[in-house]
Amino acid sequence: MASMFLLVERNETTVQEPRAVSIDDESLRTMQAIGVVDAVMSRVVLGYGSDYFSARGSCFLRVRPTLKEYGYPKRNAFRQPVFEQQLRDYFCAHAVNKTHSEAWFSTELIDFRQGPDVVHLVLRRADGSLIEISASYLIACDGGRSFIREKLGIKLSGSTFGERWLILDLEETRDTHAIQKCFCDPARPCLSLPGPDRTRRFEFMFA
């Protein structure tokens, strides 16, 4: 097989459920470096600020983004499902560093073994058939429960918050302010975040 970049994904498609809604300046800079930023930008709301409200509803703080150290505002609104589809379209339509690229969906990496010069991969297609291929590199970007990291004994470092939050995404919202609203009621903190295309996310902390 000729040299190429191969993206292997267990699922049939890119992510469909709502996930990230905020993309930072460093990530947009990375999109610029790989040549996809113009395509992505059509569905990004650049540079939103935050208003903070007391439990009684009065605004006590307004924060607006000013710095553009990497050429983009630090906080920008997007939709992860849209973004992933844009990346997939771009990846499948363009050579990466002049090297042919392909995406194999409905394909699972089920085993791998490091050889002296290459890594040997075993992939399972949707019909259950197995394919063995060799690659110069295997990149472990297989999520929080990464099988690759587990097999290599690499621990996931970091921490998470203890609270549980309920997240609601609305379409065709009437609140089109490109501002995050933080309702700082200790009894029930709530966030309202702007999105592209008249979408809006609400986040409520469970008591």
Ligand X SMILES: Cc1cc2nc3c(=O)[nH]c(=O)nc-3n(C[C@H](O)[C@H](O)[C@H](O)COP(=O)(O)OP(=O)(O)OC[C@H]3O[C@@H](n4cnc5c(N)ncnc54)[C@H](O)[C@@H]3O)c2cc1C
Using rule CB under 6 A, residue 30 touches ligand X:
no
- Read off the tokens for 131: 């394919």
- For ligand X, the binding residue among 50, 80, 85, 106 (CB under 6 A) is 80
Supply the DSSP symbol for 127: T
User: Is residue 108 near ligand X by the rule CB under 6 A?
Assistant: yes
Indicate whether 122 belongs to the interface with ligand X (CB under 6 A): no
149 binds ligand X, rule: CB under 6 A = no
Compare residues 151 and 198 and give the one whose CB is closer to ligand X.
151
Using the rule CB under 6 A, give the single segment among 37-45, 142-150, 152-160, 183-191 that binds ligand X: 142-150
The neighbouring-strand residues paired with 63 are 50
Nearest approach, Cβ of residue 68 and ligand X (Å): 19
Q: Which two tokens stand for residue 199?
A: 């979408």
Which residue's CB is nearer to ligand X, number 59 or number 150?
150
The CA-atom distances, in angstroms, between 171 and each of 10, 196, 197 are 29, 10, 8
Residue nearest to ligand X (CB): 143
Minimal distance in Å, beta carbon 56 to ligand X?
28
Question: Smallest distance, Å, CB 65 to ligand X?
Answer: 16
Cβ burial 65-74 (10 Å sphere, 16+ → b, else e): beeeeeebbb
Q: Confirm or reject binding of residue 143 to ligand X (CB under 6 A).
A: yes
CA-atom Rg of the chain in angstroms: 21
Joined together, the tokens standing for residue 72 give 């983009």
Closest listed residue to residue 104, CA positions, set 128, 126, 84: 126
**Which residues would be at the binding site for ligand X (CB under 6 A)?**
8-11, 19-22, 80, 108-109, 141-143, 147, 167
